[in-house]
Amino acid sequence: MPATSPSPTPDASFIQVEKFNYAYGDHQVIFDVDLDLHRQDITALIGPSGCGKSTLLRAINRINDLVDIARVVSGHIRIDGVDIYSPEVDVISLRRNIGMVFQKYNPFPRSIFENAVYGLRVAGVKDKQELEEAAERSLKLSALWDEVKDRLHEPATGLSGGQQQRLCIARAVALQPRILLMDEPCAALDPIATARIEDLIAQLRGQFTFVIVTHNMEQAKRIADKTAFFYKGKLVEYDDTMEIFGNPKLKLTEQYVTGRLV
């Protein structure tokens, strides 16, 4: 789907990043980032390695809390108006509402079915029928159902790389989150598998609010409504994808998207 198509819902701030500063120990990696992500949009975060885009992504579901020395220096991230770093927030239920897909596809070495329902299992769902329905729904959503419906109880590690990554997407959408975070979801895949993942994201447009980190400019152009360009921990430019790639306001952005920034 071309990036020029209008977003399905009118602009409504959903994820608000405010004056956000983030550090690993004494090493600050995100500086004063202000960013409003819109409901149901697909937003691409681009920028050279080490620019802080992955860290920002991992700060949205607080998975970076696992890194001992990671900390918020100042600022806020609000989702639907709720400051997710405030002490009252339950991190577990926050993460249940935010799906995440990682760069390296990493299904657990269990069956396809068990992978698809992992989130429900840890949420305490025991009802067999409910689990089966959820597995079918999420595998259909991730366009994997037809390929695996006859071998749900075979090991997930027997699938191809692209199938494994779609299983990871199924696993993430099984909990029916509102947000899907993707950290370079196609970096480990071949072009055909990449195209299938991009098709899938296009199909899911409007059902989730996507935030996708990518190094692939063409991918950002193809799938994203909005693009945010980061450089050395700062947000340089954030606009419609068309504008960022076709008519960047800043020289730095233009240099990067045309591949002239070293």
Partner 1 sequence: MMSNESANPFAGDQSSAQRRETTVRWLLRLSTFLIVAVTVSIVAHIFIKGAPITFRKEFPFVNVKFLTELPGTLHVIFDKQGNAIETDVNGADGIKKQLGDNFREEKTISYSGGGILGPIVGTALLVVVSVTIALFLGVCSAIYLSEYASKGKRVEMIRLAILNLAGVPSVVFGLFGLGAFVLTAPVLTDTPHERSLLVIPLLFTKLSFQGWDTCVLSGGFTLAFVILPVIITASEQCLQAVPQGFRETSMALGATRWQTIWRAVLPFATPGILTSSILGIARAAGETAPIMFTAALAFKDKLPWQKDMPPLPADAGMFAHWEQSVQRFLGIFTESVQALPYHIYTLAARIPHNEYSERAQYGSVFVFLVLVASLAATSIWMRRRLRGKYKW
Q: Which is nearer to partner 1, 73 or 122 (CB)?
A: 122
16 interacts with partner 1 by CB under 8 A: no
Question: SS3 for 201?
Answer: helix
- The minimum distance between CB 62 and partner 1, in angstroms, equals 9
Q: Which is nearer to partner 1, 91 or 250 (CB)?
A: 91
Question: SS3 for 206?
Answer: coil
Instruction: Tell which one of 4, 9, 93, 258 touches partner 1 (CB under 8 A).
Output: 93
Contacts (Cβ under 8 Å, ≥6 apart) of 207: 40, 141
Q: How far apart are CA 166 and CA 160, in angstroms?
A: 10
Q: Which is nearer to partner 1, 175 or 257 (CB)?
A: 175
Q: Which is nearer to partner 1, 110 or 140 (CB)?
A: 110
Number of residues in contact with partner 1, rule: CB under 8 A?
28
Q: How far apart are CA 27 and CA 73, in angstroms?
A: 11
Least Cα distance to 246 among 47, 21, 4 occurs for 4
Least Cα distance to 115 among 164, 51, 76, 77 occurs for 164
Q: Which is nearer to partner 1, 3 or 63 (CB)?
A: 63
Site string for partner 1, 101-120 (x = CB under 8 A): -x-x-x-xxx-------xx-
Q: Which is nearer to partner 1, 119 or 162 (CB)?
A: 119
Question: SS3 for 133?
Answer: helix
Question: SS3 for 104?
Answer: coil
Q: Which is nearer to partner 1, 42 or 168 (CB)?
A: 168
26 interacts with partner 1 by CB under 8 A: no
Site string for partner 1, 147-176 (x = CB under 8 A): --------x-x----------x--xx--x-
Per-residue DSSP letters for 117-128? THHHHHTT---H
96 interacts with partner 1 by CB under 8 A: yes
Question: What's the count of helices (H) and strands (E) in the chain, helices before strands?
Answer: 11, 10
Residue with tokens 């199938």: 163
- The minimum distance between CB 172 and partner 1, in angstroms, equals 7
256 interacts with partner 1 by CB under 8 A: no
Q: Beta 70-79 vs 82-83: how paired, if at all?
A: antiparallel
Instruction: Tell which one of 5, 9, 12, 121 touches partner 1 (CB under 8 A).
Output: 121
- The minimum distance between CB 198 and partner 1, in angstroms, equals 22
Instruction: Tell which one of 95, 137, 178, 234 touches partner 1 (CB under 8 A).
Output: 95
Q: How far apart are CA 143 and CA 245, in angstroms?
A: 30
* C-alpha neighbours within 13 Å on the C-beta side of residue 180: 30
Q: Which residues bind partner 1 (CB under 8 A)?
A: 61, 63, 66, 68, 92-93, 95-96, 98-100, 102, 104, 106, 108-110, 118-119, 121-123, 155, 157, 168, 171-172, 175
